[in-house]
Chain A
């Protein structure tokens, strides 16, 4: 059983005790524990079930590379799945639950999959669920979806807060082990602005665990002194609990700071995402130990040798009393020595190498530990817990020589540099034959904007595998990065370390090398995704030669692993199966983030009301207090309708239409875009932008205009008023203001840059109110001021003046077919003017109306709406707007495109009005069906609805739509099927349903 040792544990405060629960069971740990070490101290070796076979799984590692220890944590608004227990610091009251099992961790029904594993090889899902086809939708897919995913999704809104933080630095150093510290020392002394980040709560990495001696000091002392030295430098910033997660173009990097995960009661944001621009980035990310591929290497109790050492030294935890060490290198001997020193038993060190005589090997022998050379593990015995190992010759096929009882296995297949951050932005790797690993090729770094490298690998992450080498390499890396970033100070002498002489490791990709299929199908490469040696070999036999294809076919290295534990072993297995050298097989692509980061951190502050700034008109608060049913339009909120008392929204809309047609309506039109176009060439410029002629417009007059893209498609419309010879005011749609402003700037700056025109967006400078209805003039005359009579201000005139004491500009334009004045006042006066109109209009039956009423009234008049009648594929000619397309102009944006044969095709659907024969409303987006079926067996279509409403004025359903040869088919009835299987019939009519002569607006 795993337990707490009597020895101290260098990270623990044994005086402080913390209570926590795992699957509801109460346990105790100490300050400084991770959840993983605390669970082991409580003999909780079993931490989860594997994804596919639901095999019992224990801890394999002690850091971010842990594949099995993922748990649900927290509750309610603070619930989060897939928290890695090795990187979760213990706190008082922590509550964790294991995942992927039912009904319990100890007894799991899904484990039957393991018995079926022979029938669930690589690509099982692809092979199994493809036939018979009809079963996919209702049987296979729901089943797979239910089985997919680890943990469960939170059901409540996240109760924590998060933030983004921007930093610009000369040198970013990721990793606070001795390499990162040495690099920071060099860069800091050189005078560079340095940011040093470390993913754990502790500086120094694993060197102190391994007993490193630096500058004559023990590891812990050197780390402490170095951190103090760095903290005293003004140009160096240190952040622990902050992981460098990704390196991107031109020195951009992300770091993920976990502020309160270890202290949930503390105020402030939970996570902080650092968005960093660095001139140079030093990756001092260390290395990760590789598992060995022997049968039963996933049984709880089998752990990486370095992790066994970490738990013993850092947390005073032993996995068991008797630990067999199995290795292909000298480093694992440190684990044996550590355990022996702690008073535990190491029955044997199985070294796959034929010879081994390094100083660590000698030391182990001198301590009386049995060392068996050329031996390996044939298979591990046990089910939910290791009970022993069977020993075999590494060179053989797995015949059992000897069985040794033990309760833990410490394995080491060598160490691989963490090259993720180096590789994220294109840094290349080379294969190091001596160490059997990929390491950064310093001659092919990621390139910055200047074409030079901006990432420098350092220490173990660069393949320097001993303390002495790490310090030299990392100090040089820090100095080089500082110099490249422009720092000119002296770095002085770097730290030096002592390292016992180690002998070369031997690559061992299969143990034993001639293992039978039976053994190979129990050798796990990827613990989390249940990928075994036999699966990768099968994939190779089935033709998956590319490592990227094999990864996806077998799921090797997917999910949170991302090539940390499984990568090299998987590549080597594939290379073996393909009979190719490992470097020829290559690696899969390393993509950020290095380990999963919270969605909350990615979102930062941008959630809820802060997600996007909301534009509000000056009258917004009045609307809000008077029943506005809001709808988003662009970045604005507009009132869809003003609901009174118990009426429904639908009833409110109908009331507003009727009242506006009969009495007086007010519309807040402030959201319409208002662009001032000014200069000697303004007229010429607008002639190019609009399809109609604007240069001939007289000052004091308004003209409706259409704008097309260079592709010919209609993009915006609005009324243009000519203010004076050099000045126009262009109205755009609500959603189009910013877009059209940018469109104008683009053409002015990049095509007609010699034209003398300026464009200014004054949309938010003015409040605008449409005063609409038979009583519109009466209310304005009652307020008093400028002459708004038909003689003084005729249809499509505008004039400046005052009304009711407000300085205003009045446009006599109508989008409703009623007598209508659109009145602009300075934004600061908007609310007061609105209130004055309401007060004065009371006797004339005034009612504000919303956007749906506006839509219905314009549809009754057959006016098009950008975004309803247009969708980016419609040209003005489709909408019968030939009258608004100048024939006199040589050129305008879209003119040439509208001459293309597809645009002049007479079978383009054309705009018509549609009246339902039964008075009902055609559903939005309905298609009109024609004769016959297409090649897919679907009914042919001959038109579609673009706008559809119930018209209270006409008392029936009306619609506008695009119909094949529509204008030539007046009176014809066409059919629109509905989703319920029935259909609605509609007669093709003129789109102007109401007052076709315009008698109501011209009074």
Chain B
């Protein structure tokens, strides 16, 4: 039972208040894309042991979607941030680097 800080409400939300939305920062492929690219978008997901970026919704709270960076192995939460961005914020990436030197996740590091 995780707790994540909702970046909109600034409260530690219990997992029962949240709805998990899978991997963050997916780029939508649509009409005109190659079959392989579209399949990757629909079905292929990261499954890291370590740093991961996810989408969550504060469904029983403010209703806002947000992103969370956490470690799948220790469940350490590095931070949460707005879902309305294409990349994890720089300060968060730097914070992760101090805790997990050399981490990479998709194109990010």
User: Which A residues have a C-beta under 8 Å from some C-beta of B?
Assistant: 248-252, 277, 426, 447-451, 710-711, 742, 745-746, 749-751, 753, 890-891, 895-897, 899-901
Contact = CB atoms under 8 A, between A and B. Distances in A.
A451 B74 contact: yes
B80 to A, nearest CB: 11
Given A277-B14, A896-B31, A900-B35, A248 B1 contact: yes
A746 B77 contact: no
B76 A750 contact: no
B75 A710 contact: no
Contacts of B57: 742, 745-746
B3 A449 contact: yes
A891 B4 CA distance: 35
Given A449-B75, A750-B65, 17 more contacts: A249-B1, A277-B14, A447-B74, A447-B75, A449-B2, A451-B71, A745-B65, A746-B21, A749-B83, A749-B84, A753-B83, A891-B31, A896-B30, A896-B32, A896-B33, A897-B38, A899-B31
Nearest to A901: B35
B49 interface: no
B63 interface: yes
Contacts of B71: 451
A250 B84 contact: no
A249 B16 CA distance: 13
Nearest to B16: A275
A295 to B, nearest CB: 46
B67 to A, nearest CB: 9
Contact of A451 (B28, B42, B76): B76
B76 A896 contact: no
A249 B29 contact: no
Nearest to A748: B65
Interface string B7-30: 000000010000101000000111
Interface residues of B, number: 30
A895 B38 CA distance: 12
A447 B84 contact: no
A426 B30 CA distance: 42
Given A895-B30, A896-B30, A900-B38, A250 B3 contact: yes
Contacts of A745: 57, 63, 65
B93 interface: no
Nearest to B82: A753
Nearest to B83: A750
Interface string B31-61: 1110100100010000000000001010100
A941 B46 CA distance: 38
A737 to B, nearest CB: 15
Contacts of B84: 749-750, 753
A897 B14 contact: no
B73 to A, nearest CB: 9
Interface of B: 1-4, 14, 19, 21, 28-33, 35, 38, 42, 55, 57, 59, 63-65, 71, 74-77, 83-84, 99
Contact of A250 (B1, B21, B33, B65): B1
Contacts of B1: 248-250, 252
Nearest to B41: A710
B42 to A, nearest CB: 6
Nearest to A447: B74
Nearest to A893: B30
Contacts of B77: 449-450
A901 B1 CA distance: 41
Nearest to A897: B42
Contacts of A711: 42
Contact of B76 (A447, A753, A890, A891): A447
B5 to A, nearest CB: 9
Given A249-B1, A449-B2, A891 B30 contact: yes
Shortest beta-carbon contacts, A-B, top 3: A451-B76, A252-B1, A753-B84
Given A746-B65, A750-B65, A249 B31 contact: no
B75 to A, nearest CB: 5
A710 B29 CA distance: 10
A680 to B, nearest CB: 18
Contact of A890 (B14, B31, B75): B31
Contact of B3 (A277, A426, A897): A277
Contacts of A895: 30-31
A379 B2 CA distance: 52
Contact of B65 (A252, A749, A899): A749
A249 B42 contact: no
Contacts of B2: 249-250, 449
A545 to B, nearest CB: 25
A710 B42 contact: yes
A448 B3 CA distance: 9
Contacts of A448: 76
A341 B31 CA distance: 89
Contacts of B33: 896
Given A277-B14, A449-B75, A751 B28 contact: yes
B63 A250 contact: no
Given A449-B77, A450-B76, A750-B55, A896 B83 contact: no
Contacts of B35: 900-901
27 contacts: A249-B1, A250-B2, A250-B75, A252-B1, A277-B14, A426-B74, A447-B74, A447-B75, A447-B76, A449-B3, A449-B77, A450-B77, A451-B71, A451-B99, A742-B19, A742-B57, A742-B59, A745-B65, A750-B65, A891-B30, A891-B31, A895-B30, A896-B30, A896-B31, A897-B42, A899-B31, A900-B38
A108 B32 CA distance: 76
Contacts of A749: 64-65, 83-84
A896 B76 CA distance: 37
A253 to B, nearest CB: 10
A483 B31 CA distance: 57
A710 B74 CA distance: 33
Contacts of A896: 29-33, 38
Nearest to B1: A252
Contacts of A277: 3, 14
Residue of A249, A448, A896 with most partner-chain B CB within 10 A: A896
A196 B29 CA distance: 54
A138 B83 CA distance: 57
Nearest to A745: B63
A251 B77 CA distance: 13
A1000 B82 CA distance: 53
A184 B33 CA distance: 63
A451 B77 CA distance: 7
A710 B33 CA distance: 14
A873 to B, nearest CB: 15
Contacts of A746: 21, 57, 65
Contacts of A742: 19, 57, 59
A251 B59 CA distance: 22
A451 B79 CA distance: 12
Contacts of A252: 1
Contacts of A891: 30-31
B17 to A, nearest CB: 12
A751 B55 CA distance: 12
A852 to B, nearest CB: 33
Contacts of A897: 38, 42
A890 B32 CA distance: 10
Contacts of A248: 1
A252 B14 CA distance: 9
A747 to B, nearest CB: 10
Contacts of A899: 31
B59 to A, nearest CB: 8
Contacts of A447: 74-76
B89 to A, nearest CB: 16
A451 B74 CA distance: 7
A900 B2 CA distance: 38
A823 to B, nearest CB: 31
Contacts of A901: 35
A897 B42 CA distance: 9
A450 B5 CA distance: 12
Among A248, A746, A749, A901, max chain B CB count under 10 A is at: A749
